[in-house]
Amino acid sequence: MLQLTYPGVYTQEKSSGVRTISGASTSVAHFIGPTRTGIDNRPVRCLNYGDFERQFGGLHPQSSLSYSVLHFFANGGSEAFVTRLPVSGSAAASSVVPGAGAGATALTVTALGTGATGNGIFLEIDSFDIGADPFSATADTKRFNLTVVDSVTGTVERFTDLTTASGNARTADSVVNDPATGSRLVKVAMAPRDAAGPAPTGTVYKIGAGPATATIAADLKLVLTITRRQTDGTADAANTVTALEVVALPSGSPTPASPRELVARVVGAINQTLRATPAEFGKLAGAEVQGELFEGGTQFRLSLTRPTGPAGTARVHDATVTFAGPASGPSLSAAYNMGSVATPHVSSGPSRIRLGMPIAGLVTTATAGLDGAAHGQPSDTVFKNAVTALDGPDPFFNLLCLPDLVRPSTTDPAVAQHSNVVAVYAEAARVCAKKFAFLVVDPPPQVNDVGSAEQWKTMQLGFSSSHAGAWFPRVRVDDPLQPGSIISHPPSGAIAGVIARTDAQVGVWQAPAGTEAVLAGVYGPAVSISDPEHGLLNPVGLNVIRQFPIYQTVAFGSRTVDGSNALGSEWKYIPVRRTADYILRSLSEALRWAVHKPNGEELWSQLRLNCTSFMQGLYRQGAFKGTSARQAYFVACDASTTTQVDIDAGVVNIAIGFAPLKPAEFVVITLRQIVQPAA
Phi and psi (nearest 5°) for 651?
-115, 135
- Residues near 2 by Cβ (< 8 Å), separated by ≥ 6? 10, 12
Q: Is the pLDDT of residue 395 over 80?
A: no
Residue 401 bridge partners (DSSP): 31, 440
Residue 110 bridge partners (DSSP): 94, 187
What fold is seen in the domain 29-87+375-576? Answer: Rossmann fold (3.40.50)
Largest CA distance in the chain: 128
Distance, in Å, from the CA atom of 66 to the CA atom of 49, rounded to the nearest integer, reads: 9
Residue 665: its pLDDT value, please?
A: 61
Q: Is the pLDDT of residue 678 over 80?
A: no
Contact 89, 373 (CB under 8 A): yes
Contact 127, 311 (CB under 8 A): no
Q: Is the pLDDT of residue 667 over 70?
A: no
Residue 29: its pLDDT value, please?
A: 97
Tens-place pLDDT, residues 190-242: 989 999 999 899 999 999 988 889 999 999 999 999 999 999 999 999 999 99
Position 244: which residue type?
Answer: L
Distance, in Å, from the CA atom of 357 to the CA atom of 354, rounded to the nearest integer, reads: 6
Residue 363: its pLDDT value, please?
A: 92
Question: Residues 634-648: what's their mean pLDDT?
Answer: 93
Distance, in Å, from the CA atom of 504 to the CA atom of 514, rounded to the nearest integer, reads: 16
Nearest to residue 542, comparing CAs of 557, 527, 529, 525? 557
Alpha carbon separation from 144 to 128, 131, 140 (Å, rounded): 7, 10, 9
Beta strands of 208-288 (E only): which ranges? 220-227, 241-249
Run of H or E including 262 = helix 259-275
Contact 582, 508 (CB under 8 A): yes
Distance, in Å, from the CA atom of 644 to the CA atom of 392, rounded to the nearest integer, reads: 34
Task: Evaluate the omega torsion of the peptide bond into residue 43 and state whether it is cis, within 30 degrees of 0.
Answer: no
Contact 255, 214 (CB under 8 A): yes
Alpha carbon separation from 292 to 48, 288, 299 (Å, rounded): 35, 13, 9
Residue 276: its pLDDT value, please?
A: 95
Contact 619, 656 (CB under 8 A): no
Tens-place pLDDT, residues 296-322: 999 999 999 999 988 888 999 999 999
Contact 11, 576 (CB under 8 A): no
Mean model confidence pLDDT for the chain: 93
Q: Please work out, in degrees rounded to the nearest 5, the angle formed at the alpha carbon of residue 192 by the alpha carbons of 189 and 193.
A: 85
Give residue limits of the domains in the chain: 29-87+375-576, 94-191, 203-350, 601-679
Residue 663: its pLDDT value, please?
A: 79
DSSP state of 372: -
Tens-place pLDDT, residues 453-469: 999 999 999 999 999 99
Question: Residues 659-671: what's their mean pLDDT?
Answer: 76
Give the model's confidence band at 289: pLDDT under 50 very low, under 70 low, under 90 confident, else very high. Answer: very high
Contact 363, 315 (CB under 8 A): no
DSSP state of 456: I
Tens-place pLDDT, residues 498-514: 999 999 999 999 999 99
Question: Residues 311-336: what's their mean pLDDT?
Answer: 92
DSSP 45-85: EESSHHHHHHHH-S--TT-HHHHHHHHHHHTT---EEEEE-
Give the model's confidence band at 13: pLDDT under 50 very low, under 70 low, under 90 confident, else very high. Answer: confident
Contact 490, 440 (CB under 8 A): no
- Residues near 677 by Cβ (< 8 Å), separated by ≥ 6? none
Alpha carbon separation from 386 to 210, 263, 376 (Å, rounded): 63, 52, 17
Give the neighbor-by-neighbor strand order of the sheet with 44-46.
Answer: 44-46, 80-84, 29-33, 399-401, 438-441, 468-472, 543-548, 552-555
DSSP state of 460: I
Q: At what angle do helices 574-590 and 601-620 cross, to 10 degrees?
A: 140
Phi and psi (nearest 5°) for 462?
85, 5
Residue 679: its pLDDT value, please?
A: 61
Tens-place pLDDT, residues 90-105: 999 999 999 887 778 8
DSSP 100-142: SSTTPPEEEEEESS-SGGGGGEEEEEE-TTSS--TTSTT--TT
Nearest to residue 302, comparing CAs of 249, 344, 252? 344
pTM for the whole structure: 0.89
Tens-place pLDDT, residues 597-625: 999 998 999 999 999 999 999 999 999 99
Is 634 strand, coil or helix? Answer: strand
Distance, in Å, from the CA atom of 299 to the CA atom of 497, rounded to the nearest integer, reads: 54
Residue 666: its pLDDT value, please?
A: 66
Percent of the chain at pLDDT > 70 equals 99
Beta strands of 142-279 (E only): which ranges? 143-150, 156-163, 186-191, 203-206, 220-227, 241-249
Q: Decide: residue 661, CB within 10 A, 0-12 exposed, 13-18 middle, 19+ buried.
A: buried
For domain 94-191, say whether CATH 2.60.40 is its number.
yes
Q: Where are the alpha helices (DSSP H) in 568-673?
A: 574-590, 601-620, 629-632, 644-648
Distance, in Å, from the CA atom of 101 to the CA atom of 4, rounded to the nearest integer, reads: 75
Question: Residues 274-292: what's their mean pLDDT?
Answer: 95
Contact 506, 618 (CB under 8 A): no
Nearest to residue 344, comparing CAs of 498, 495, 221? 221
Tens-place pLDDT, residues 399-424: 999 999 999 999 999 999 999 999 99
Nearest to residue 120, comparing CAs of 160, 80, 149? 149
Tens-place pLDDT, residues 513-556: 999 999 999 999 999 999 999 999 999 999 999 999 999 999 99
Question: Residues 165-179: what's their mean pLDDT?
Answer: 94
DSSP state of 594: G
Question: Residues 163-187: what's their mean pLDDT?
Answer: 94
Distance, in Å, from the CA atom of 663 to the CA atom of 513, rounded to the nearest integer, reads: 9
Nearest to residue 559, comparing CAs of 495, 648, 612? 495
How many C-beta neighbours within 10 Å does residue 40 have?
21
Residue 651: its pLDDT value, please?
A: 93
Exposure letters 556-587 (e unless 16+ CB within 10 A, then b): bbbbbbbbbeebebebbbbbbbbbbbbbebbb
Contact 585, 609 (CB under 8 A): no
Residue 152: its pLDDT value, please?
A: 92
Q: Write the secondary structure of 275-325 as one string of H (helix), E (strand) and C (coil).
A: HCCHHHHHHHCCCCEEEEEEHHHCEEEEEECCCCCCCCCCCCCCCEEEEEC
Question: Residues 656-668: what's their mean pLDDT?
Answer: 80
Percent of the chain at pLDDT > 90 equals 85
